[in-house]
Structure 1
């Protein structure tokens, strides 16, 4: 039960039932008798402690009643220091103290009896001529340190007020001058120290990188001058006497004493330079890498090669982007994107989608047939380390919240924090890219030398084939001599090949990888937005979409009856042909298609459509002024015609005796008369232009009536013509019909 009850054990006691709670104490076991009936302890947190003798039975009872635990406790420094590193003077002090107390401590257990111990100490005082308080201090240190002689070494760090700043007085501090006629100098006051701090900030911690002595000079000029003298057109600072000025040594002392080295380097050389060259190296890029999926790293690089177009090999299309996702634990490459997008979220999206996709079908797209176990990763990690550029902002929110990946971004210009994936890019160049036609030359092209860009031979598709082959080699055959295998890998005889490390980790370090449907991963990686369900379709960025669920559930009818509403959608900005509706909190989706009436938007990028709509909007704004002017002119013409017609009609009505009833009674007859009058003018005529028809000809009309079917081609005067028309109309039945 009390296996811990052995000599030199340190025990911490705390009575958890005490009110208030007992803060407890720490003690060391100094001695236990052979029958295990008595135990001697000494308190370690008491500067005046003496050994206490108790029975083992009492000690066991205390252990049952109070909370106790065995702890490690080192109270004094230099206990485990090498003998060779101890200064001789310190050894002499230790040995002299040991010579005094050794006859006492060797008399166990009598020395633990207070009365007998008092007699022993009195004899030691007579023998050594050392005060008894000093002897008791030696004994206490020896016992509290676990009966170690090195506890008697002097501990000078407790002497001299280390770190305590002295307050200056009238007398000059520091070493006296060598010659008596030298100026004594000044003590540094708080005001002077403030001037030093300002001088360091203004003249030393700057991009100019001035030496410290120049900063001292500029500080004297700025803060210690007593005036100025004018020489020609120059104002020269005047300094006080030498013994009233701080020396360069004092300036340097206070600079070093209050130095913030990190801040100084950042101010003088820039934060980026500090991060790359001067920061402390406290960790590694394999941090928190328990097993496969514990942490993936993702990064992009512009490949050092120029490619040609797959549509016309005469066209040089520039350098591709390579995105790599790699497992930190095994160095297994889990995801890849080779294309022309990025570095951006769009490129990272493609690489992460590939990380969760089936690699066999991916390789088949590039004519590479593999077995399932050749490239087996189709998972997301627990943590993802990336640059701030691609994974900052709101784009990775679904990656974090829905897919459960903890995204960790690194500071800019800190490629060393993603050393594993950065090393992979260097291996790509070393193994493959630098030997391919079109590779970027390592040096500047000399005059007259052929431009290496003209050597480009590969298309993007062909270059991707090469990168895939390189990754398959890396994952399955590359032996990493530098890989630091842990004791478990060594015991299981696992080689430092990414595939073997990955497989071993899957068997022994499971629980870190995350598996999701490939479509769900892609959906959550896509760009996000809100579409509006209206009576004319699902409107998104100025385009109208439809879907099976919208038609089946009569969304558009409901929108016309009850009004429109917003729905969340996902989309790939590279194609407008389709968008995706979020269903069940991102766990399901519905694909939406453009209406046929939106055919002008087919096979376009969203930014192209946005540009088109913006151009049309701009054109409309440019024409708005002309439109307003034309409308003003139109309204003026209409107003003029209306006013003239109103005047003429009003004049006629003033002369007429017809009542309102009479005017409305004969609308039908009046309409027929008007129609008869217009027939001659409106009739189609071939061979003659309307302008050639004279007024006289238009007055010669042919009338067809019930009683007269013969054409009268003779000329009819207007008055007679009107009379005859009236008689014809009267031959019809009268009525009150209105039109």
Structure 2
């Protein structure tokens, strides 16, 4: 809700009727509890007292609204005013100035009556004249010129003629052309209602359609049935207002602001049609007075760092820019967002040493090519990322005042919004995979298939774009003040920044880099395990953990969680949060996690997600293969069980006898396997004199069946004999 101020005109809307009531606010108490106002269209009005909360409730429930009020009878300049009129004005002012200057006492009835009587005695004017002067002064906005005589109303220019028998307006060109009707007050009210109902709405109907609907609703004399339809019956054209008259009164009485708000909505009106009279630079005294931050989805598709045939979508661009100099103080390019982590990374980048930052991407710059490494005094942002409890560290620890723009009001961040357009014009539209048009025609090639750049390569392009903007972009439209003109400062962001540092210092904030990062970086929890400090599927180690034997304790006991901060742009390190944020310990990625080295957190998460997706894809095939394996195993087991059970049943051996001698039988089986498994590179022919296998029958007892026993070489014959004797053989 807009703040309530003196001299504002408020329109109260009655919910039961279409009547409106206009009043001007005359005085507001310093404690914002009492408000005095006066009716605008009442010739006998006096100031009335209301409570401030009454207005607040009225605005919140849409029972009242502020209206723009211009009184054409009150000239704003004394030049050109007749001296006689000025003399009459001064005479009227002298009669009431001692009354109106004593606020708020003059709004009290008893006090005002006594002072009016004193003015009567001094001036000799009638009290009704003095009261008329008071009303004109208060209703005219407490302006002295409101007391000027209204002689300019004499004459007939601009006044509406009363309708009579003769048709007003231009004569008709043809005799048979409908003459039409004179628009009286009743007809005018019907036309107003038609405009309000059929034109000032979200359907955005053309004026011709609204005119037709107005005639159908307010001028129809009856209906005729045509099949299932009821068709309105209209009078002849000479008894109806014409479309020209409808359009004339629409333009004459149209409130363009109300019409645009009704057809487009408050938000669209504020964004596209609100008068642009201010300047963002005026709100910024020097470098660091105000930064603007915003994000957009880049109009280009990228490929994966791991496998270039994978398309990973469009990246997010964050830009932090200084309002005073248009100097880009920080950027962030990633796949996360627009979100809190993206905004925090962009703000962290504003305090980062830009030489080191560019070196991470293989770009060598001099310190003077990108000098900003500070935090601002104020930060203008969207309501999304920097709203709620998350930016508390910015306000409480780092001392940055966060201001959030209203929803759908991108114009509050017009400077940073303009940078997105410039970045697209300078670089992005020429990159393979860029979106040329929002909507592709049928048969047109899919621009996503043209993607060639990875996230790292696209970031390098954006860094080069920022360096060009900061050091070489000549802003012809920049409004330099008189001091800049005198110092011959060119409108280049770098030169404006340096000039502001020298002449408008005291706004930039400098904090230790690790304090800024710990408070701005995304925070999370890692798990201390025997395999290392596990974070997002990666494992790290640090000197503190080795010194205090964390991994030994984790293996001997239980794992535990620790608070960490991390930079999504690099997987090489994470940081343990120590001493409530005043200290930190760097944790290095373990060597066995080499595949994650020099990657971004987003890329690792994408890799894990893709691997999980591929794993889910293989689950069905794995299950089918396992089913086949189980079926084959069961078939073999069933067949073996059947044969073994038959052999056991045939031998009729006891369980103890089957178990006894297992060691020797294993040895015999091993010897047999060795003979069969031995490598033989030459082919040997089996002859009667040199048989390959020697088998002799052995008799165990009378009831035992004759078995074929393998006869090993002579050096093992003694062992077989001992085995047979152990089992009770006679031979």
Shorter-chain TM band: 0.5 to 0.7
- Aligned equivalents of 1:96, 1:604: Cα separation in 2: 83
Q: 3-state SS of the aligned residue for 1:286?
A: helix
Q: CA deviation at 1:276?
A: 6.5
Contact 1:495–1:501 (CA under 8 A) maintained in structure 2: no
Distance 1:97 1:296, change over 3 A: closer
Contact 1:382–1:404 (CA<8 Å) still a contact in 2? Answer: yes
2:719 is the alignment partner of 1:729? no
1:388-433 deviations in Å (ceiling 9; x for gaps): 8997999977656653433445579978655667899999999x99
Matches of 1:119 and 1:280 in 2, distance apart?
47
Q: Render the CA deviation track for 1:496-519: whole Å, top value 9, x for unaligned.
A: 77434423433xxx4x43222224
Question: Separation in 1 of the partners of 2:288 and 2:414?
Answer: 17
**Offset, 1:285:** 0.3
1:68 aligned partner: none
Q: Distance in 1 between matches of 2:612 and 2:188?
A: 71
2:165 corresponds to: 178
Q: Which residue of 2 aligns with 1:578?
A: 573
User: Where does residue 501 of structure 2 map in the other structure?
Assistant: 502
Aligned match of 1:169: none
Change (3 A) 1:558 1:97: closer
In the TM superposition, residue 239 of structure 1 has moved relative to its aligned partner by 1.6
* Equivalent residue pairs, number: 558
Supply the distance in 2 between the matched residues of 1:625 and 1:360 (Cα, whole angstroms). Answer: 51
CA contact (8 A) 1:379 1:514 kept: yes
Deviations 1:174-213 (Å, cap 9, x if unpaired)? 93323399868783699986654321146xx6557x3x35
Following superposition of structure 1 onto structure 2, how do residues 88-103 of structure 1 map, counting pairs within 5 Å?
none
Alignment correspondent of 1:718: 708
| CA distance in structure 1 between the aligned counterparts of 2:257 and 2:75, rounded to whole angstroms | 34
Q: Whole-Å Cα distance in 2 between the matches of residues 98 and 531 of structure 1? A: 78
Residue matched to 1:383: 378
Alignment deviations for residues 243-279 of structure 1 (CA, whole Å, 9 cap, x no partner): 9867769866986799663353367679898557631
C-alpha distance 214-565 of structure 1, shift in aligned 2 (>3 A): same
8 Å CA contact 1:529–1:569 kept in 2: the answer is yes
Matches of 1:192 and 1:24, distance apart in 2: 37
Instruction: Give 3-state SS (helix, strand or coil) of 1:335's partner.
Output: strand
Aligned-partner Cα distance in 1 for 2:94–2:282: 52
Q: Which among 524, 540, 544 is matched to residue 539 of structure 2?
A: 544
Identify the range of structure 1 (378-387 vs 341-350) with the bigger mean alpha-carbon deviation: 341-350
Counterpart-to-counterpart distance in 2, 1:557 and 1:427: 55
CA contact (8 A) 1:569 1:581 kept: yes
For residues 464 and 229 of structure 1, the distance between their equivalents in structure 2, rounded to whole angstroms, comes to: 72
Residue 699 in 1 paired to residue 698 in 2?
no
Contact residue 141 and residue 151 of structure 1 kept, 8 A: no
Cα offset for 1:223?
6.4
Shift of residue 700 of structure 1?
1.5
662, 667, 686: which one aligns with 2:662: 667
Q: SS where residue 699 of structure 1 aligns? A: coil
Per-residue CA distance 1:96-144 (angstroms, 9 max, x = gap): 989999xxxxxxxxxxxx9xx999989999xxxx9x6558869999999
Cα displacement (A) at 1:566: 4.6
d(CA) in 1 for partners of 2:407, 2:627: 59
Is the aligned partner of 1:286 residue 2:257? Answer: no
- Aligned partner of 2:196 in structure 1 is 197
Deviation, structure 1 residue 725: 7.3
User: Which residue of 2 is the match for residue 483 of structure 1?
Assistant: 480
Q: Tell me, in whole angstroms, the C-alpha distance in 2 between the residues paired with 1:378 and 1:469.
A: 18
Residue 727 of structure 1 aligns to a residue in which SS?
helix
Query: What is the aligned partner in structure 2 of residue 311 from structure 1?
Result: none
Distance change >3 Å, CA 563–CA 219, structure 1 → 2: farther
Asked whether the 8 Å contact 1:479–1:495 carries over to 2, the reply is no
CA 1:648–1:528: 2 relative to 1, 3 Å: same
Q: Are 1:594 and 2:593 an aligned pair? A: no
Change (3 A) 1:530 1:267: farther
C-alpha distance in 1 between matches for 2:410 and 2:117 = 69
**C-alpha distance in 2 between matches for 1:429 and 1:609:** 28
Is the CA contact 2:137–2:147 (under 8 Å) kept in the aligned structure 1? no
SS of aligned partner of 2:379: strand
Secondary structure of the corresponding residue to residue 283 of structure 1: coil
Secondary structure of 1:177's match? coil
1:630-645 aligned within 5 A: 630-645=625-640
Question: What is the CA–CA distance in structure 2 between the aligned matches of 1:250 and 1:389, rounded to whole Å?
Answer: 49
Match of 2:350 among 350, 355, 372: 355
- For the aligned residue pairs, the C-alpha RMSD in angstroms reads 6.7
| Deviation of 1:622 (Å) | 3.4
1:138–1:405 Cα change, 3 Å: closer
Q: Which one is further off, 560-569 or 334-343?
A: 334-343
- 1:521 corresponds in structure 2 to 516
CA contact (8 A) 2:296 2:317 kept: yes
Judging changes above 3 Å, is the alpha-carbon distance between structure 1 residues 620 and 326 closer, same or farther for their aligned structure 2 residues? closer
For 1:545, what is the secondary structure of its paired residue? Answer: strand
Deviations 1:153-173 (Å, cap 9, x if unpaired)? 6799xxxxxxxxxxxxxxxx9
Distance 1:360 1:618 in 2: 39
Could you tell me how far 1:379 is from its partner in structure 2?
Answer: 1.9
Q: Contact 1:531 / 1:538 at 8 angstroms: preserved in 2?
A: yes
Per-residue Cα deviation, 1:53-83 (whole angstroms, up to 9, x for no partner): xxxxxxxxxxxxxxxxxxxxxxxx9899838
Q: Confirm or deny that 1:686 pairs with 2:681.
A: yes
Structure 2 gaps of 5+ residues are: 1-26, 37-45, 49-72, 97-112, 152-159, 168-178, 299-314, 428-457, 490-494, 698-705
The within-5 A match list for 1:104-115 is none
TM alignment of 1:152-171, pairs within 5 A:
none
Please state how far the C-alpha of 1:650 moved relative to its aligned partner.
3.7
Distance in 1 (CA, whole Å) between partners of 2:421 and 2:695 is 100
Separation of aligned partners in 2, 1:535 and 1:688: 57
Alpha-carbon distance in structure 1 between the residues aligned to 2:145 and 2:597? 86
Q: 1:609 to 1:417 in 2, by over 3 A?
A: closer
Q: Distance in 1 between matches of 2:343 and 2:380?
A: 12
Listed as ranges, the gaps of 5+ residues in structure 1 are 1-11, 17-21, 26-44, 48-76, 102-113, 157-172, 304-319, 434-458, 704-715, 735-739
Secondary structure class of the residue paired with 2:588: strand
> How big is the shift at 1:642?
3.1
User: Could you say which residue in structure 1 is the equivalent of 2:78?
Assistant: 82
1:627 shift after superposition: 2.5
Offset at 1:683? 3.8
After TM superposition, list the pairs within 5 Å mapping 1:93-242 onto structure 2: 134=128, 175-179=162-166, 187=186, 195-201=194-200, 210=206, 212-221=207-216, 224-225=219-220, 226-227=222-223, 237-240=232-235
Q: Helix, strand or coil for the counterpart of 1:638? A: helix
| Alignment check: 8 A CA contact 1:523 1:570 kept | yes
**Distance of aligned partners of 1:284 and 1:150 in 2 relative to their CA distance in 1, 3 Å threshold:** closer
CA distance in 2, matches of 1:120, 1:621: 94
Give, in angstroms, the shift of residue 657 of structure 1: 5.6
Say whether residues 1:335 and 2:322 are aligned partners.
no
Q: Provide the C-alpha distance between the structure 2 equivalents of 1:503 and 1:606, rounded to a whole number of angstroms.
A: 40
Contact map agreement 1:335 1:351 (CA 8 A) in 2: no
- Report if the CA contact (8 A) 1:141-1:152 is conserved: no
Contact conserved, 2:350 with 2:374, CA < 8 A, in 1?
A: yes
Asked whether the 8 Å contact 1:183–1:242 carries over to 2, the reply is no
Name the TM-score, length of structure 1 as normaliser: 0.54
CA gap of 1:281–1:551, structure 2 versus 1, over 3 A, is same
In the superposition, relative to structure 1, how do residues 540 and 228 fare at CA in structure 2: closer, same or farther (>3 Å)? farther
In the aligned structure 1, how far is the partner of 2:271 from the partner of 2:478?
A: 26
Question: In structure 1, how many angstroms separate the alpha carbons of the residues matched to 2:331 and 2:530?
Answer: 41
